[in-house]
Amino acid sequence: MGDLLLEGFNKIADAKRIVIKVGTSTLTYANGKLNLRRIESLVKVLADIKNSGKEVLLVTSGAIGVGAAHLGLTERPRDMGGKQAAAAVGQCELMYIYDKHFSEHGHVTAQVLLTRDVIDDDNRKTNVINTIHRLLEYGAVPIVNENDTVSFEEIEFGDNDTLSAVVAVLSGADALIILTDIDGVYTSDPRINSDAVFIPLVEKIDDNLRKAASGAGSSRGTGGMMTKLHAAEMASAQGISTVIMNGCDPSRLYDIFEGKPVGTLII
Ligand code: GLU
């Protein structure tokens, strides 16, 4: 397994086009307000990775949580209208802060908002693919989220883990990195079971693993480990490896691009 792990991380280190997904729990404090220090450091690392010659696409969550906090709501709305309205507010704040920090490092950002019906329609999907490719050609950083303000059950991705895999496939990425609030995949939920064992490498997502991952996710985001594994499965079906790692220290992304094992690698 050691060889396979190192080989897998060497491949990730060589990846040219990378999709990085960041979840609400990484971007915000428990009260929903933006964790400015973390965002600043994440953007700086991504800008630097881009400077090193790689192409970076960011899939961001946080619109609903950040919008709710900005509106002074005591909790994340549960009804569709509340979520749609909060997302409209939060998406602005997110893009403002990303654009501000990327600009400080000389990079241009681009907002891309998607719903599932767009991807299900061949014509519209082609337009999305063309736009993403053109943005990368222009050297911009596409920042993608679900278009939560117009999204409802029938047309939504539902969680940004799935969206990140869709973006990885559409953009022809070489690697998908999912930043979350846990170090990676364990044999059971380490927040509940102290005997949970960390899994550095996943070669096949089977029922045992799915069962291990079925615990609830964080209260601030939408997905849990289950949706992350599902995303990794979608990516690996197209030959794209996924890393699930803790986003609390974005500088650990440097380790990944030096071929050092971090988090769980799913090949
Ligand atoms: N699109 C949602 C948001 O920006 C996040 C969905 C998720 O957490 O997976 O709030």
Residue 217 is predicted with a pLDDT of 53
User: Which residues line the pocket of ligand 1, CB cutoff 6 A?
Assistant: 23-24, 61-65, 87, 145-146, 148, 159-160, 221-223
Which pair of structure tokens corresponds to residue 148?
């939560």
Please name the residues in contact with 81: beta carbons below 8 A apart, sequence gap of 6 or more: none
- pTM (predicted TM-score): 0.95
The CA distance from 185 to 156, in Å, is 26
Residue whose CA lies nearest to ligand 1 atom number 5: 61
Written in H, E and C, the secondary structure of 216-245 is CCCCCCCCCHHHHHHHHHHHHCCCCEEEEE
Q: Provide the pLDDT for residue 139.
A: 98
- Give alpha helix (H) positions in the chain: 2-13, 24-27, 36-51, 63-70, 80-104, 116-120, 122-137, 160-171, 207-212, 225-236, 252-257
Ligand 1 atom at minimum distance from 61 CA: 4
What number does the ligand 1 atom closest to the CA of 161 have? 9
pLDDT score of 68: 96
CB-based contact 177:245 (threshold 8 Å): yes
Q: Which of 113, 107, 101, 106 has its CA nearest to residue 42? A: 101
Query: In angstroms, rounded to a whole number, what is the distance separating the alpha carbons of residues 5 and 22?
Result: 23
State the Cα–Cα distance between residues 31 and 195, nearest whole angstrom.
Answer: 30
pLDDT tens string for the chain (267 positions)? 679 999 999 999 999 999 999 999 999 998 889 999 999 999 999 999 999 999 999 999 999 999 999 999 999 999 999 999 999 999 999 999 999 999 999 999 999 999 999 999 999 999 999 999 999 999 999 999 999 999 988 888 989 999 999 999 999 999 999 999 999 999 988 888 889 999 999 999 998 888 888 764 554 555 579 999 999 999 999 999 999 999 999 999 999 999 999 999 999
